[in-house]
Amino acid sequence: MSTREWRPGKERHRRSVEESRARHREKVRRRWLIGSGLFVSLLAAAAREPLPEVSLFLLAAYALGVVSDAGVAMFSRGLYRRGRIVADAVSVAGAVGLCFGLAALFSTFTLALFAGTALVVGIVFLLSA
């Protein structure tokens, strides 16, 4: 048997089951937020030149969905409420910035190929999970 020494302030905090589940849900929600933001910004950048109205609609629909999630988070009593609101705000700004950055760097055809590849890979990942 080994001897253990107790030191004040060095206690390990064990998470409760509810806290672990909330942390896992938040991690999954952020992954979906990042993935959907990347895909929407890619589609909006591909549609920016030939169909600018569709590009704006995609960005506005994404922003509306994420802002409604932030509104729900404001009235929730979850552990990660503040982080959820910040992540939602950052994801909207990131999606818009990424859309304009991709549209400036790549042609419409290249962006359409990227979007198609991302769609196929996403479907494969969903089906294999």
pLDDT band at 10 (very low <50, low <70, confident <90, very high): low
pLDDT band at 81 (very low <50, low <70, confident <90, very high): confident
Residue 64: alpha-carbon gap to chain centroid? 14
Contact residues for 19 (Cβ-Cβ < 8 A; gap 6+): 79
Q: Is residue 65 in some structural domain?
A: yes
Q: Is residue 79 in some structural domain?
A: yes
pLDDT, residue 57, reads: 94
Q: How many CB atoms lie within 10 A of CB 41?
A: 25
pLDDT, residue 110, reads: 92
Q: Is residue 3 in some structural domain?
A: no
Q: Is residue 7 in some structural domain?
A: no
Contact residues for 80 (Cβ-Cβ < 8 A; gap 6+): 22, 23, 26
Q: Is residue 33 in some structural domain?
A: yes
Q: What's the CA angle centered on 86, arms 23 and 24, to 5 degrees?
A: 10
Range of the domain at 47: 20-128
pLDDT, residue 11, reads: 61
- Average pLDDT of the residues of the chain: 86
Q: Is residue 112 in some structural domain?
A: yes
Q: Is residue 42 in some structural domain?
A: yes
pLDDT band at 3 (very low <50, low <70, confident <90, very high): confident
Q: Convert the pLDDT of each residue in 86-117 to its tens digit.
A: 888 899 999 999 999 999 999 989 998 998 89
Q: Is residue 124 in some structural domain?
A: yes
| Total of domains in the chain | 1
Question: What does residue 9 show for φ and ψ, rounded to 5 degrees?
Answer: 85, -5
